[in-house]
């Protein structure tokens, strides 16, 4: 079904992947089976789609490129629905509960897509996404290298890393290697005594000036004086000279409780 010779659109960050071993690795990472409804983002010429339709119950493919959407829809595959739309504007509530997401994600889209699926009322129960290797490592980062993106992903999901896929396997080759990242949605909220809105208000304030100490960045981000913020930090046992990227998810939780 795939036609790897189709010209790519640079503005949409398109890089075709047709290597069968790599595509199978993505399906395996998503644990695709015959009962699954799969959301595929950016199917392109259909290389991954051709495997998904054979393994899953149904595939809903969201393609922003109109010509590619038409071409893929013309294949007339019974269990494939092709929608020409921006995934960031697509209503995830139109999908059944417990769907899975499988996709080769353009770099420019990754952060926004993570945010959208994380905050959705109907998130995928599992997402296997092929992203730039550096981004995959950021998503799975440990304290010391955390970011708002990694805190967001890990707040809502358990993160694991899959196969690294070399740039030479793509057409055209991107400048960096890619890696499969797996987000398994948590069955229960990580912290039940604070709302996500409260939690991320504090997190974003803490990262507002990430090169500065947590005392200075929180003071600036929350518009509170140093003495007040120092009291919050003292209450939670967090040293005021640490930086946001060093804090654990539990420490953000304790800060949120102290502040709210």
Task: Kindly give the residue spans of alpha helices, DSSP state H, lying in the chain.
Answer: 20-29, 47-55, 66-73, 110-119, 133-139, 148-156, 196-206, 214-222, 226-236, 249-259
Residues 6+ positions from 201 with CB-CB distance below 8 Å? 256
Instruction: Give the CA distances from residue 127 to residues 45, 48, 60, in Å, rounded to whole numbers and listed in that order.
Output: 21, 14, 14
The angle, 0 to 180 degrees and rounded to 10, between the axes of the packed helices 214-222 and 196-206 is 120
Which SS3 state, helix, strand or coil, does residue 81 take? strand
107-146 core/surface letters (b: 16 or more CB in 10 A; e: else): bebbbebbbbbbeeeebbebbbbbbbbebbebbbbeeeeb
Between CA 38 and CA 104 the distance in angstroms is 13
Per residue, the 3-state secondary structure of 225-238, as one string, reads CHHHHHHHHHHHCC
pLDDT less than 50: residues of the chain: 1-4
183 with 126: CB under 8 angstroms?
A: yes
pLDDT value of residue 8: 56
Q: 10-185 has which CATH code?
A: 3.40.50.150
Q: Supply the DSSP symbol for 248.
A: -
Q: What is the DSSP string of 182-197?
A: EEEE-SS-S-TTS-HH
Between CA 192 and CA 48 the distance in angstroms is 38
3 with 47: CB under 8 angstroms?
A: no
Q: Matching CATH topology for 10-185 and 196-259?
A: no
Q: Is the dihedral of CA 31, 166, 169, 15 positive or negative?
A: positive
Provide the whole-model pTM.
Answer: 0.91
80 with 57: CB under 8 angstroms?
A: no
The CATH superfamily assigned to 196-259 is: rRNA adenine dimethylase, C-terminal domain (1.10.8.100)
Domain residue limits, the chain: 10-185, 196-259
pLDDT value of residue 171: 87
């Amino acid at each position: 079904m795939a036609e790897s010779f189709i010209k790519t659109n640079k503005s949409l960050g398109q890089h075709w992947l047709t290597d069968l071993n790599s595509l199978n690795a993505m399906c395996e990472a998503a644990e695709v089976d015959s009962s699954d409804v799969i959301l595929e983002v950016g199917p392109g010429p259909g290389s991954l789609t051709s495997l998904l339709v054979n393994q899953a119950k149904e595939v809903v493919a969201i393609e922003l490129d109109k010509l590619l959407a038409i071409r893929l829809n013309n294949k007339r595959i019974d269990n494939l629905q092709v929608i020409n739309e921006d995934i960031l504007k697509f209503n995830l509530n139109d999908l059944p509960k417990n769907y899975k997401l499988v996709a080769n994600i353009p770099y420019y889209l990754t952060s926004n897509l993570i945010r959208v699926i994380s905050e959705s009322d109907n998130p995928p129960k599992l997402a296997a996404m092929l992203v730039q290797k550096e981004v995959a490592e950021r998503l799975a980062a440990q304290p010391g290298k955390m970011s708002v993106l990694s805190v967001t992903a890990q707040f809502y999901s358990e993160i694991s890393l899959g196969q690294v896929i070399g740039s030479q396997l793509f057409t055209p080759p991107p400048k960096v290697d890619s890696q499969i990242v797996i987000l398994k949605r948590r069955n229960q909220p990580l912290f039940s005594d604070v709302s996500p809105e409260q939690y991320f208000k504090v997190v974003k304030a803490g990262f507002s000036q990430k090169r500065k100490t947590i005392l200075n960045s929180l003071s600036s981000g929350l518009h509170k004086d140093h003495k007040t913020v120092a009291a919050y930090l003292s209450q939670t046992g967090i040293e005021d000279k640490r930086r946001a990227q060093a804090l654990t998810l539990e420490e953000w939780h304790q800060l949120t409780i102290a502040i709210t």
